[in-house]
Amino acid sequence: MKLNTDFVAWFRSVAPYVNAFRGKTFVVAFGGEVVADGKFVELVHDLNLLASLGVRLVLVHGARPQIEARLQEQKLQTTYVKGMRVTDAATLQCVKESIGRVRVEIEALLSMGLPNSPMANAAIRVASGNFVTARPVGIVEGVDLMHTGEVRKVDAAAIRSRLEQGEVALLSPLGYSPTGEIFNLTLENVAAAAAIALNAEKLIFLMDTAGIEEKPTGKSGKLLRELTVAESKALLARLAAKLSADVRLYLPCAVQACEGGVARVHLISRHVDGAVLQELFTHDGIGSMISQGPLQSLRNAGVEDVGGILQLIEPLEAKGVLVRRNRELLEMEINRFVVLEHDRMIVACAALYPFPDEKASELACLAVHPDYRNAGYGDTLLKHIEARAKTQGSKKLFVLTTGAAHWFVERGFEETGVGKLPKAKQGLYNYQRRSKVFMKKI
């Protein structure tokens, strides 16, 4: 029974994400290690789930371990300049062979459809092709990098038309030039460029570490869950040497992608089964998320927020903590509400009802999602409502509460009687609820 209740509650909690993700483009980038380790099957199950929820998927794969192995087989030495491989003709041959092999393996796994498996009825169609145009990196520190290239252009229109057909696009770290040459690219360069060109909602890098960990000398790593572009740049400037090799590789591309208009970049572990799902469908996520600006925002509510507000307040109404408001009433009074968003989900709300004749205002329907309590959101909303009431000419703010008396007392409210309420409010007072009345001079 408990299991059923948990399942239903969990399934419902996922609904806002499903709604938010439908029709959005996600670019998922992973190294050749994911394929080499045999971990790709698990990832394919999760990608299949995302695709069936209406997410438009672009996959970008790497092939570094496969290329290294092939070069060793061929007894070829590679030289690096500033971390970039010099790709001569013999190396390019190994690059082409390795990438081709990895791509075929990925396509095969994406084609699975065995009954009684997570892939039953999946029928994922994969689109790969000459979507990426490249140019040579050229000469660096006096060395010609030859077939090592960088992305010049991503054919977003072509990829989009395949995504619109319900296909999953697969990009390899190879690019072609208008002169017909092939260039060896890095997966992070391709992924960031594709995410920018497609104006993707999310770019997800699967890496060896759990996310971005700050490692002050002698202390164990602390996972940084959310960073803005400015914070990421400061981290790279301040602590680059202490960051993991993967983070040093991916974080600059994450910053570049955000600056190019990608809404969120996620750096998560490739070693955790279901990491992509945990990152996308849970409040806390599992790795690190980078965004252009802060994730929190306070704003006036609009009709489109009614659903989100209802989801937040209905459990509190059911417990009798808040007065019941149905959808119609909420729609009519929506301009009285302010909402606090975290990563585009409404996590807190409050409403202000002015009584201008008495120069008083009511703070009502203050609610913070249980997962976001004790983080100052309640305080932020109260301060905002107070300031707004003041600018509207109110001299006092009152609130009716059954369960948060102390919270208001600690914020300067004093208990008072129903008789002190504005006349119009006194007429509406519900004597059965027996809410306490608190008032504050503002």
Ligand X SMILES: CC(C)(COP(=O)(O)OP(=O)(O)OC[C@H]1O[C@@H](n2cnc3c(N)ncnc32)[C@H](O)[C@@H]1OP(=O)(O)O)[C@@H](O)C(=O)NCCC(=O)NCCS
DSSP string, 28-89: EEE-HHHHHTTTHHHHHHHHHHHHHTT-EEEEEE--HHHHHHHHHHTT----EETTEEPB-H
Q: Nearer Cβ to ligand X, position 198 or 351?
A: 351
User: Measured between alpha carbons, how far is 265 from 309 in angstroms, rounded to an integer?
Assistant: 27
Residue 268 and residue 279 in contact, taking contact as beta carbons nearer than 8 Å: yes
Q: Any contact of residue 206 with ligand X (CB under 6 A)?
A: no
Could you tell me whether strands 360-368 and 396-401 are parallel, antiparallel, or unpaired per DSSP bridges?
Answer: parallel
Give the shortest CB-385-to-ligand X separation in angstroms: 11
Q: Nearer Cβ to ligand X, position 231 or 317?
A: 317
> Facing residues of 300 across strands?
338
Q: Nearer Cβ to ligand X, position 57 or 399?
A: 399
Amino acid at 439: M
Q: Of the candidates 379, 395, 428, 441, which one interacts with ligand X according to CB under 6 A?
A: 379
Give the shortest CB-311-to-ligand X separation in angstroms: 14
Give the shortest CB-378-to-ligand X separation in angstroms: 3
Q: Of the candidates 121, 220, 374, 391, which one interacts with ligand X according to CB under 6 A?
A: 374
Task: Name which of 101, 91, 102 is nearest 148 in CA terms.
Answer: 91
Q: Of the candidates 377, 398, 413, 438, which one interacts with ligand X according to CB under 6 A?
A: 377
Give the shortest CB-351-to-ligand X separation in angstroms: 9
Backbone φ and ψ of 404, nearest 5°: -120, 30
Residue 95 and residue 134 in contact, taking contact as beta carbons nearer than 8 Å: no
CA angle, corner 192, sides to 267 and 25, nearest 5? 80
Residue 358 and residue 376 in contact, taking contact as beta carbons nearer than 8 Å: no
How is residue 121 annotated by DSSP? Answer: T
Q: Nearer Cβ to ligand X, position 267 or 399?
A: 399
Residues 399-438 that bind ligand X (CB under 6 A): 399, 401, 403-404, 406-407
Q: Nearer Cβ to ligand X, position 278 or 402?
A: 402
Give the shortest CB-297-to-ligand X separation in angstroms: 16
CA angle, corner 264, sides to 259 and 265, nearest 5? 85
Give the shortest CB-409-to-ligand X separation in angstroms: 8
User: Measured between alpha carbons, how far is 279 from 271 in angstroms, rounded to an integer?
Assistant: 13
Give the shortest CB-410-to-ligand X separation in angstroms: 7
Give the shortest CB-375-to-ligand X separation in angstroms: 5
Give the shortest CB-380-to-ligand X separation in angstroms: 7
Count of residues binding ligand X (CB under 6 A)?
21
Pick the stretch among 201-209, 269-277, 372-380, 390-398 that binds ligand X (CB under 6 A).
Answer: 372-380
Q: Nearer Cβ to ligand X, position 133 or 380?
A: 380
Q: Of the candidates 22, 373, 395, 433, which one interacts with ligand X according to CB under 6 A?
A: 373
Pick the stretch among 61-69, 274-282, 375-383, 416-424 that binds ligand X (CB under 6 A).
Answer: 375-383
Q: Nearer Cβ to ligand X, position 216 or 403?
A: 403
Q: Any contact of residue 366 with ligand X (CB under 6 A)?
A: yes
Q: Which residues of 246-259 are buried (b: 16+ CB within 10 A; e: fewer)?
A: bbebbbbbbbbbbe
139: left (phi over 0), alpha (psi -120 to 50) or beta: beta
Q: Of the candidates 224, 378, 388, 438, which one interacts with ligand X according to CB under 6 A?
A: 378
Burial class (CB in 10 A: 0-12, 13-18, 19+), 132: buried
The distance from CA 287 to its chain's CA centroid, rounded to whole angstroms, is: 10
Q: CA 273, 276, 277, 281: dihedral to nearest 10 degrees?
A: 140
Give the shortest CB-405-to-ligand X separation in angstroms: 7
Amino acid at 156: A
Q: Of the candidates 127, 158, 375, 442, which one interacts with ligand X according to CB under 6 A?
A: 375
Task: Tally Cβ neighbours within 10 Å of residue 90.
Answer: 11
Give the shortest CB-9-to-ligand X separation in angstroms: 18
Contacts with ligand X, 131-170, as mask; x by CB under 6 A: ----------------------------------------
Q: Of the candidates 145, 146, 368, 385, which one interacts with ligand X according to CB under 6 A?
A: 368
Pick the stretch among 3-11, 50-58, 121-129, 373-381 that binds ligand X (CB under 6 A).
Answer: 373-381
Burial class (CB in 10 A: 0-12, 13-18, 19+), 265: buried
Residues 306-345 that bind ligand X (CB under 6 A): 316, 321-322
Pick the stretch among 74-82, 280-288, 360-368, 416-424 that binds ligand X (CB under 6 A).
Answer: 360-368
Cβ-closest position to ligand X: 378
* Residues making contact with ligand X (CB under 6 A): 316, 321-322, 364-368, 373-379, 399, 401, 403-404, 406-407
